[in-house]
């Protein structure tokens, strides 16, 4: 009754102001944190902290925030709260010790639109579908070469195509990015499609271009804005729309390969991942576990995203760091010459005898920091982390940058230093805080393949060539941030050894 009397005594402006005040109070009551919730920077109404994040180097900004608010802190991106976890010990607590609780992915409007709302591929699926699809993918990777000499041969053969591409530059400066993308992608192509593509294949090049641009945009401010304000962003022009167009082009390419496989599928003799999936699809009850053609397309897409971009960019960073540190390059080549020579192709059996080279590759991965922020997780139940209360359904982001550069874990965290992985006798040592592939239930399923590719491609290149850049040019190391961390464009010289 009193509320009605109050409204009658107000003019239109007063009513609007009063209504706004009520909405604001209701908003803050709704967004109020529960007791003992992680602290964080103040957020704007409705917008949250989405515009306060450094879009150029978000991983650095978030790492510095941990110095202010602690290794478990909260930010609000649009309407939703996200808890960020920093430092090796706390990240390990979240994704390893509490792996079962922080295993599922939270709802994402962008992913829902990308995957048509009913399929989730390998990366974004949850529950039994995710468990079954991940197990199937890992088994298939092993079946078609992971850990076998046949896969080593395939990588070494692709290394020769890569070397030929470099030789065609005839000593002139060139950007090696496309050659690396071609070579690395062809390895996953052989597993998924059962074949490699020529570097001049137009459809292959279009696929790689779409892949690179999509990965960048998925980690950009535009993707954050879409997830924070999906109803608005869906109708606005902007680069975020390219995420969906690139995805559709990639899906069309993969669908064409699936149709080609159907023409001569032999259930008794599967040739690759697509064949094996199509055979599995026919089994009763498997649709509920994700075995249908729409999900096959998305699983293939996830394998390409994970299997091409990360390894290619690691090799790119490898060139940059060894050009910037010529003495390291010389020591790597001396070890290659001593263990393998300059004519025999390398094998994985050589790695235990090459501790310095192995240490250099690991340090490239650490400093390259290819995936600065891990994929979002979601709490399956109420829990505590770092002494703070994390309610069920809360989104959680592990900051892998803070692990790879943790000053409590690395002697010289901000310096390229292969000695991080060597003991006093020069033997290779593993480091617990080396988590470029993440860890726990959601660790990269292609880690074994990536390690094989990195070693064989890296050794093959430095066995045949010495690398340098333009005189007087200082190669940049800060990187361009999307879903992965990409080097700024650079050019190199190759000199046959």
426-440 per-position pLDDT tens digit: 999 999 999 999 999
Residue 431: predicted pLDDT: 97
- 238: burial class by Cβ within 10 Å (0-12, 13-18, 19+)? exposed
Whether the predicted pLDDT of 334 surpasses 60: yes
Whether the predicted pLDDT of 350 surpasses 70: yes
Rounded distance between C-alpha atoms, residue 143 and residue 150, angstroms: 11
> Cβ of 344: how many Cβ atoms within 10 Å?
10
The tens digit of pLDDT for each residue in 53-66 reads 998 999 999 999 99
- Residue 130 half-sphere exposure toward CB, CA atoms < 13 A: 13
Backbone phi, then psi, for 84, in 5-degree steps?
Answer: -100, 135
Q: Which of 434, 456, 453 is nearest to 443 (CA)?
A: 434
Which residue in this structure is represented by tokens 């480091």?
A: 431
Which residues, 6 or more positions from 331, have their beta carbon under 8 angstroms from its beta carbon? 356
**pTM for the predicted model, two decimal places:** 0.92
Pick the range with the lowest mean pLDDT from 193-207, 262-276, 280-294, 329-343: 280-294
Residue 13: predicted pLDDT: 56
Residue 31: predicted pLDDT: 56
The tens digit of pLDDT for each residue in 4-46 reads 554 445 455 554 554 444 444 444 444 578 899 999 999 988 8
Which residue in this structure is represented by tokens 């890569």?
A: 162
Whether the predicted pLDDT of 148 surpasses 50: yes
User: Contact at 8 Å (CB) between 478 and 486?
Assistant: no
N-terminal to C-terminal alpha carbon distance within the chain: 91
Task: Domains for the chain: give ranges and CATH numbers.
Answer: 48-496 (1.10.630.10)
Residue 117: predicted pLDDT: 67
Residue 18: predicted pLDDT: 47
3-state SS of the chain?
A: CHHHHHHHCCCHHHHHHHHHHHHHHHHHHHHCCCCCCCCCCCCECCCECCCCCCCCCHHHHHHHHHHHHCCEEEEEECCEEEEEECCHHHHHHHHHHCCCCCCECCCCHHHHHHCCCCCCCCCCCCHHHHHHHHHHHHHHHHHCCCCCHHHHHHHHHHHHHHHHHHHCCCCCCECCHHHHHHHHHHHHHHHHCCCCCCCCCHHHHHHHHHHHHHHHHHCCHHHHHHHHCHHHHCCCCCCHHHHHHHHHHHHHHHHHHHHHHHHCCCCCCCCCHHHHHHHHHCCCCCHHHCCCHHHHHHHHHHHHHHHHHHHHHHHHHHHHHHHHCHHHHHHHHHHHHHHCCCCCCCCHHHHHHCHHHHHHHHHHHHHHCCCCECCCEECCCCEEECCEEECCCCEEEEEHHHHHCCCCCCCCCCCCCHHHHECCCCCECCCCCCCCCCCHHHCCCCHHHHHHHHHHHHHHHHHHEEEECCCCCCCCCCCEECCCEECCCCCEEEEEC
Residue 282: predicted pLDDT: 87
Residue 80: predicted pLDDT: 86
Whether the predicted pLDDT of 177 surpasses 60: yes
| Beta strand 485-486 pairing with 395-398 | unpaired
The tens digit of pLDDT for each residue in 357-415 reads 999 999 999 999 999 999 999 999 999 999 999 999 999 999 999 999 999 999 999 99
The tens digit of pLDDT for each residue in 446-467 reads 999 999 999 999 999 999 999 9
Rounded distance between C-alpha atoms, residue 238 and residue 493, angstroms: 37
Would you place residue 307 in the very low, low, confident or very high pLDDT band (cuts 50, 70, 90)? confident
Would you place residue 2 in the very low, low, confident or very high pLDDT band (cuts 50, 70, 90)? very low
In the chain, % of residues over pLDDT 90: 84
């Amino acid at each position: 009754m009193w509320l009605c009397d109050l409204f009658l005594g107000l003019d239109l402006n007063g009513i609007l102001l009063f209504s706004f005040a009520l909405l604001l109070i209701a908003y803050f009551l709704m967004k109020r944190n529960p007791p003992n919730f992680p602290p964080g920077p103040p957020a704007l109404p409705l917008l949250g902290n989405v515009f306060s994040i450094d879009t150029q180097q978000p991983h650095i900004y978030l790492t510095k925030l941990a110095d202010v608010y602690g290794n478990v802190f909260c930010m609000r991106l649009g309407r939703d709260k996200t808890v960020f976890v920093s430092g090796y010990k706390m990240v390990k607590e979240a994704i390893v010790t509490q792996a079962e609780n922080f295993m599922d992915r939270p709802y994402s409007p962008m992913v829902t639109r990308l995957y048509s709302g009913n399929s989730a591929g390998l990366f974004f699926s949850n529950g039994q579908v995710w468990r079954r699809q991940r197990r199937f993918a890992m088994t298939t990777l092993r079946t078609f070469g992971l850990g076998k000499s046949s896969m080593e041969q395939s990588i070494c053969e692709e290394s020769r195509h890569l070397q030929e591409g470099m030789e065609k530059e005839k000593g002139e400066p060139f950007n090696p990015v496309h050659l690396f993308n071609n070579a690395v992608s062809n390895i996953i192509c052989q597993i998924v499609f059962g074949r490699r593509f020529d570097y001049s294949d137009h459809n292959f090049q279009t696929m790689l271009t779409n892949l690179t641009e999509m990965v960048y945009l998925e980690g950009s401010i535009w993707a954050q804005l879409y997830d924070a304000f999906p109803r608005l962003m869906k109708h606005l022009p902007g680069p975020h729309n390219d995420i969906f167009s690139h995805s559709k082009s990639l899906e069309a390419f993969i669908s064409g390969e699936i149709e080609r496989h159907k023409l001569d599928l032999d259930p008794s003799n599967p040739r690759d991942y697509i064949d094996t999936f199509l055979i599995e699809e026919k089994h009763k009850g498997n649709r509920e576990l994700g075995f249908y053609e729409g999900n096959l397309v998305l699983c293939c897409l996830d394998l390409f995203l994970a299997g091409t971009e990360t390894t290619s960019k690691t090799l790119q960073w490898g060139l940059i760091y060894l050009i910037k540190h010529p003495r390291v390059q010389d020591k790597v080549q001396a070890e290659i010459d001593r263990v393998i020579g300059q004519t025999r192709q390398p094998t994985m059996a050589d790695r235990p005898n090459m501790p310095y080279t192995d240490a250099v590759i690991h340090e490239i991965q650490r400093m390259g920091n290819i995936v600065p922020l891990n994929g979002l997780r979601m709490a399956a139940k109420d829990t505590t982390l770092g002494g703070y209360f994390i309610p069920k359904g809360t989104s959680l982001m592990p900051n892998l940058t803070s692990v790879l550069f943790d000053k409590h874990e690395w002697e010289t965290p901000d310096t390229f230093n292969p000695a991080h992985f060597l003991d006093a006798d020069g033997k290779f040592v593993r480091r617990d805080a080396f988590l470029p592939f993440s860890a726990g239930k959601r660790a990269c399923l292609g880690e074994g393949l990536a390690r094989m590719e990195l070693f064989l491609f890296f050794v093959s290149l430095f066995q045949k060539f010495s690398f340098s850049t333009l005189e007087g040019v200082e190669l940049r190391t800060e990187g361009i941030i999307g879903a992965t961390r990409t080097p700024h464009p650079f050019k190199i010289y190759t000199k046959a050894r």
